[in-house]
C-alpha cells in the first residue's frame, strides 16, 4: 500500500520519578537526611555494613551515594556513643524491614511510571495508508530506470454488481505530490456519489533520483541548455514509456475504459500535457493543465501549436487550463518570494486565444484563474475544478 510517513508523537516530559519520591519519604520518616543523589547513582537496597568505629552504606543500598565512603549525618554522631551497639541492632532491623517493603513497592510504582512515559517512535506507530490504493514498481528496459506506479481504485470497484464495469482513468505526473492531492479530493465525492467513479494513476519520479532532476528531464519536450546542469528534453522518451509500458500495465491489470483517458499535470507536467496533445492527440481525450510552464525555452509551445495548425484542422481534445491569480512578476500579493519570473497568467490567456483562433474541430477549451493562488498552490483547486466538470453526477447541485 502507498503509505505517507506518519509523524512521531513526542513522549510526555518531566514525569515524576516515583522511586525517588518514595525513598525521600522513608528518609524523612527515619529522620535521615542526605545530599541529593548524583547522576551516577543507582537505585537499590541492601543491609548496612558495619566496620569498627565506622558505619557506611555501600553502593546499591537504599540510602545511597556515588561515594562509598559517605557517612549519613545521623550515624556520624554515633561513633562514640556508649549505646551505639543497641542502636546499631535496632537500625539494622529497621533497615531490613524498610528494604523488604520497598523491594515490593518500588518496582510496582516504577512500572506504572514507565508505562506513563513510555516513548513512541515512527518505528512503533502504524503508517497512514490511502485506502483502495496499490503500488506497482515498473523497471523500464528502454529508459534504464524504474518508476513506481500508484493506483487508487474507487470504492465500488470490487462490488459484485460492477464486475463487468470499465472505469474512466486519470493519469497524473509528479505522482508523489499529485496522487495524494487527488486521492484526498475524490474520497468524499466518491463516497457520496457526487463524482462518477474513476481510477487514479500516479507516476513517480525515477527511483533513486531527486524529483527536480527526474521531472526536468522527463517532462520537458526539447533541450534547453540554459537549464544545465539539469538534463532536459526527455519528453519523447518518457511519452514512449507512458504509452508502451505504463498504460498497458494499468489497463491489463484493471478494468479501464480506454476511450475515457485523462492526463493531468502541474507546471512542467502541464507543459508535457500540452505537448502530448499536439503530438499524440489520440492518446488522451481530456487534459487537466495547471500552471503550465509556457515560458519554457522562449515560449516554444506557441511555435509548436502554430506548426500543428498549418497541417491540421481538427484537434479532438477537451482541455482544462487553470492558473493562479498570483503567477506573475511582482507585485503579486503578500508572498513576494512566490512571485513568478514570468507572467504565466498572461501566457495562459495568450495560448487559449491562439488555440481559439485556429477554429479546430472537436476542440473544447475551459479556463480558470484561481483567486489568490500562487504557482505552488494552484494545483489542488485547479484539479478539483476540472474533475468536477468532468465527473460530476449531481449537476443540479451546482449553481
Task: Kindly state whether residue 36 falls inside one of the protein's structural domains.
Answer: yes
> Which three-class secondary structure state does DSSP give residue 77?
coil
At 191 the three-state DSSP class reads helix
Q: What CA–CA distances, in Å, run from 109 to 11, 62, 102, 368?
A: 19, 16, 10, 64
pLDDT of the residue at 55: 36
Mark whether 79 and 226 lie in a shared domain.
no
Start-to-end CA distance of the chain, whole Å, equals 38
* Residue tagged 495524494 (cell numbers): 180
- What residues of the chain score a pLDDT lower than 50? 1-16, 18-19, 26, 29-30, 32, 34-80, 84, 111-112, 114-115, 396
Looking at the fold, whether 62 and 137 belong to one and the same domain comes out as: no
User: Is there a single domain that holds both residue 196 and residue 220?
Assistant: yes
For residue 1, being part of any structural domain is answered with no
Among residues 73, 89, 118, which one ends one of the domains?
Answer: 118
Report the number of distinct structural domains present in the chain.
Answer: 2
Whole-angstrom CA distances from 397 to 387, 391, 394 are 15, 13, 6
Same domain, 90 and 238: no
- pTM (predicted TM-score): 0.69
Q: Which domain holds residue 22?
A: 18-118
Pairing mode, if any, of strands 199-203 and 167-172? parallel
Confirm whether 370 is domain-assigned: yes
Among residues 116, 125, 266, 156, which one has the least CA distance to residue 202?
266
- Listed residues 92, 118, 144: the one ending a domain: 118
Query: What CA–CA distance (Å, rounded) separates 62 from 92?
Result: 12
CB atoms within 10 A of CB 262: 24
- The answer to whether residues 93 and 164 belong to one domain is no
Indicate whether 36 and 164 sit together in one domain: no
Q: Tell me: do 101 and 141 sit in the same domain.
A: no
Domain identity same for 47 and 89 = yes
Helix (H, G, I), strand (E, B) or coil at 275: helix
pLDDT digits over 26-82, tens only? 455 445 454 444 444 333 333 333 333 333 333 333 433 344 443 444 444 444 455
pLDDT value of position 190: 95
Tens digit of pLDDT for each residue in 115-172? 455 555 667 888 888 999 999 999 999 999 999 999 999 999 999 999 999 999 999 9
pLDDT at 338: 72
Residue 122 CA to its chain's centroid (Å): 13
C-beta atoms surrounding 391 within 10 Å? 19
Burial 126-137 (b: 16+ CB within 10 A, else e): eeeebebbeeee
110 and 179, same structural domain? Answer: no
The three cell numbers of residue 271 are 507543459
Exposure string of 144-165, with b = 16+ CB inside 10 Å and e = fewer, is ebebbbbbbbbeebeeeeeeee
Is the same domain home to 314 and 174?
Answer: yes
User: Do residues 164 and 263 share a domain?
Assistant: yes
Side-chain-side CA neighbours of residue 49 (13 Å)? 12
Which alpha helices (H) appear in the chain, and where do they start and end? Answer: 18-30, 73-76, 84-117, 175-191, 211-218, 235-241, 247-253, 268-279, 296-311, 344-357, 378-391
Residue 372 lies in a domain: yes
CA dihedral 385, 389, 392, 393 (to 10 degrees): 160
Give the C-alpha distances (Å, rounded to integers) separating 117 from 11, 41, 42, 111: 6, 21, 20, 10
Asked whether residue 124 is assigned to any structural domain, the reply reads no
Report if residue 126 sits inside a domain: no
Amino acid at each position: 500500500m502507498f503509505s505517507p510517513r506518519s509523524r512521531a508523537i513526542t513522549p510526555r516530559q518531566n514525569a515524576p520519578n516515583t522511586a525517588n519520591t518514595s525513598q525521600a519519604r522513608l528518609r524523612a520518616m527515619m529522620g535521615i537526611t542526605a545530599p541529593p543523589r548524583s547522576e551516577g547513582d543507582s537505585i537499590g537496597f541492601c543491609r548496612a555494613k558495619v566496620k569498627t568505629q565506622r558505619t557506611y552504606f555501600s553502593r546499591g543500598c537504599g540510602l545511597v551515594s556515588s561515594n562509598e565512603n559517605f557517612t549519613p549525618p545521623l550515624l556520624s554522631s554515633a561513633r562514640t556513643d556508649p549505646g551505639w551497639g543497641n542502636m546499631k541492632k535496632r537500625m539494622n532491623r529497621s533497615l531490613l524491614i524498610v528494604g523488604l517493603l520497598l523491594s515490593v513497592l518500588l518496582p510496582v510504582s516504577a512500572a506504572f511510571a514507565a508505562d506513563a512515559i513510555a516513548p513512541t517512535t515512527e518505528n512503533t506507530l502504524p503508517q497512514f495508508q490511502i485506502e483502495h490504493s496499490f503500488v506497482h514498481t515498473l523497471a523500464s528496459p528502454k529508459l534504464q530506470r524504474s518508476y513506481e506506479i500508484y493506483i487508487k481504485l474507487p470504492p465500488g470497484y470490487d462490488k459484485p454488481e460492477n464486475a463487468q464495469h470499465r472505469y474512466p482513468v486519470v493519469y497524473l505526473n509528479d505522482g508523489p505530490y499529485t496522487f495524494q492531492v487527488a486521492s484526498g479530493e475524490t474520497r468524499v465525492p466518491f463516497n457520496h456519489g457526487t463524482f462518477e467513479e474513476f481510477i487514479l494513476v500516479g507516476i513517480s519520479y525515477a527511483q533513486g533520483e531527486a524529483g527536480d532532476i527526474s521531472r526536468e528531464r522527463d517532462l520537458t519536450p526539447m533541450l534547453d541548455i540554459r537549464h544545465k546542469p539539469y538534463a532536459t528534453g526527455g519528453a519523447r522518451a518518457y511519452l514512449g514509456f507512458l504509452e508502451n509500458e505504463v498504460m498497458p500495465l494499468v489497463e491489463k491489470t484493471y478494468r479501464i475504459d480506454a476511450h475515457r483517458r485523462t492526463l493531468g499535470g502541474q507546471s512542467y507536467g502541464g507543459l508535457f500535457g500540452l505537448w502530448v496533445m499536439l503530438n499524440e492527440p489520440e492518446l488522451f481525450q481530456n487534459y487537466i493543465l495547471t500552471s503550465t510552464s509556457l515560458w519554457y525555452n522562449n515560449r516554444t509551445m506557441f511555435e509548436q501549436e502554430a506548426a500543428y495548425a498549418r497541417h491540421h484542422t481538427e484537434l479532438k481534445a477537451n482541455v482544462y487550463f487553470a492558473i493562479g491569480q498570483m503567477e506573475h512578476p511582482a507585485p503579486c500579493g503578500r508572498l513576494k518570494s512566490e512571485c513568478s519570473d514570468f507572467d504565466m497568467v498572461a501566457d495562459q490567456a495568450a495560448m487559449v486565444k491562439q488555440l481559439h483562433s485556429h477554429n479546430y474541430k472537436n476542440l473544447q477549451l475551459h479556463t480558470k484563474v484561481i483567486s489568490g493562488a500562487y504557482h505552488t498552490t494552484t494545483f489542488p483547486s485547479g484539479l478539483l475544478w476540472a474533475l468536477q466538470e468532468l465527473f460530476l453526477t449531481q449537476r443540479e447541485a451546482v449553481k
